[in-house]
Amino acid sequence: MEQVNVKLTLAYEGTDFSGYQRQAQGERTVQGELEKAIVSLTEEEPKLIAAGRTDAGVHAKGQVVNFMTASRIPLPRWAAALNSRLPSDLIVEQAQAVPAAFHARYDAKAKTYQYLVSRRRWPDVFLRRFCCHYPYQLAVEKMQAGAAFLVGEHDFKGFAAAGSAVATTVRRLYRVDISEQDEELSFILAGNGFLYKMVRNIVGTLLLIGEEKMAPEMITEILATGQREKAGPTAPPQGLTLMTVEY
């Protein structure tokens, strides 16, 4: 039977998920919940391919997955049919038919992440699941100066967490923007790919620069040496959201 390659755009709140990828121990994951919904709808076991594998606690507004199916369900009905079977913290925003060769991970040209930091004295009870509480004085101009060194093609080994099993640690960042509004900071990072925990390690380093515990120029040394210990700590997961994947 002829199969169709279906591309889904997902949004989810990562708080109660043990990441995107299915876990051997049976923890609740985005992939696991989506697979159950697809099996319920089509009686097929899907082989899901994701643009990226978000960690536990990390959110997404524009995660992309694809899979092959022999189902005859019309594409306009897929989102509603799956959403009726999915939990409230996971939604299919869009379903599309794509060419058979389309691959959500390998065909991605760019990804954009946002990281939110709250600088209020006390944690915001309504935003605590979506931002990092960091109630310290920050020199935002110095953080922006440090961020400028990250733009372009570099070896980001010094910002990768242990366990990054990749062929190369070279990536290109198109933008690293830091904006300030009231007591909140927004970090926007866009690039052709990201290493394991790379965004959170960059944010943790820029926050140290903001506290003036590290000079902005230290970014160049981290890039040159590839030594993770020279960079800052890993920022917590709840502030991070995968915003878009471009093809």
- Active-site residues, by number, are 55
- CA dist list (Å): 237 to 2, 115, 165, 204, 234: 41, 9, 20, 11, 9
Phi, psi of 129 (to 5 degrees): -85, -10
CA distance 180 to 237: 20
CA distance 204 to 161: 12
CA distance 108 to 96: 16
Contacts of 116 (CB under 8 A, 6+ apart): 127, 130, 131, 132, 184, 185, 186, 187, 239, 241
Give residue 229's identity as a one-letter amino acid code. Answer: E
